[in-house]
Amino acid sequence: MRKSACVALGLGGAVIAALAAGSAMAGQELGQPLPQRAPEKVYASVCGYCHGTNVGPIILGRKLAPALIKTMVRSGMNGMPSFRPSEISDAELNDLAVWIEKSKANPKEKGK
Ligand code: HEC
């Protein structure tokens, strides 16, 4: 009985040590923000899902004011979802809003 308890404890310790080593080896610090994404990447992977595909209005090439874009992204409206800073950081949103304002219309996009 005492022996098997010792073996069980030993195994548990080995598993904990392996887990600790595994997370250290992954090289990713928990609680650290992800690197900032370029505005065209955010647009393509998040906004372009709806805008330019007939779901949301066309927003490229319309010189939309950055303040309007930022309000829409943080607050949402009807079919437009809101996004938290953990999804799109403030720095990413600032760059994205300016990038959209200055963007040219993309003739491949569909919508009105
Ligand atoms: C799930 C689909 C969806 C996604 C994803 C989405 N939008 Fe929208 N968006 C909409 C819809 C639908 C509207 C129209 C809302 C309304 O007027 O009622 C809209 C409206 C807007 C408007 C106002 C446009 C105007 O003509 O006044 C802006 C600006 C905007 N979205 C920016 C963004 C940005 C930037 C992103 C990416 C971070 C994004 N949206 C992601 C669906 C989406």
pLDDT per position as a tens digit, 30-87: 887 789 999 999 999 999 999 999 999 999 999 999 999 999 999 999 999 999 999 9
92 CB near ligand 1 (under 6 Å): no
- What's the CA-to-centroid distance between 102 and ligand 1, angstroms? 17
Residue 51 pairs in a beta bridge with: 56
Q: What is the structure's pLDDT at 28?
A: 65
Tokens of 1: 């009985």
Provide the whole-model pTM.
0.80
Per-residue tokens: 80:
């437009």
Distance of alpha carbon 101 from alpha carbon 9, whole angstroms = 61
Rg over alpha carbons for the chain, rounded to the nearest Å, is 23
Q: Report which protein residue has its CA nearest ligand 1's atom 10.
A: 80
Q: Is the CB of 64 under 6 A from ligand 1?
A: yes
61 CB-near residues (< 8 Å, 6+ apart): 103, 104, 105, 106
Please tell me if the CB atom of residue 69 comes closer than 6 angstroms to any atom of ligand 1.
Answer: yes
59: Cβ below 6 Å to ligand 1?
yes
Query: Which amino acid is present at 30?
Result: L
Q: What is the pLDDT of residue 97?
A: 98
